[in-house]
Amino acid sequence: MKLLSRDPDRLVFRLTKRDHEALLTVLRLGPLFPRQGKPISRDAAGLEKLRAAQDDLDAALAEHRGSRVAEVEALIADPARCAPLKPSGWKLTLSTAGSEALLQLLNEIRVGAWEKLGAPDFGAGERPKIDEENLLGLWAFQLSEVFQGVLLDALVGEDG
């Protein structure tokens, strides 16, 4: 994925066929890596109220994620924003809001995959065991991170 042009309200990328397929695949993998909600409090006092609040928070977050997924899917499916290029590849045109929506969704997938891998501290040298069960999580983590990097570079104005 390569930045072709940048305007104040618009980014245009060129995706190879592989880039396009990889982006669609990592986005489709999102449901396999749901975020693991953190409890509001571990305090036993008022536990019933906290459980109800936690349920409300979890429902609101799930609804927000669902709307983000729908927004990005519509963006990718829109031929005016994601059009084939000849002889091969794709041209992806994103508004600032579209870029941020894609960035947030990729982050949800990356963090969900990281949590599923056991939340390793990569900075401290921890590495998850590579096996059949978590290979897809590691792939989704790394690929979403690559796409995030390209988007962040484009949003902050660095060409790469």
Which amino acid, one-letter code, is at 77?
A
pLDDT (tens digit per residue) in 81-93: 999 998 889 999 9
Whole-angstrom distance, CA of residue 146 vs CA of residue 140: 10
Average pLDDT, the chain: 86
Q: How far apart are the first and last CA of the chain?
A: 10
Band (160; pLDDT cuts 50, 70, 90): very low
Domain borders along the chain are: 2-156
pLDDT (tens digit per residue) in 41-81: 666 556 777 777 777 877 887 787 777 888 888 888 899 99
> pTM for this one?
0.82
Closest of 20, 27, 1 to residue 109, by C-alpha: 27
- Cβ atoms of residues 33 and 109 within 8 Å: yes
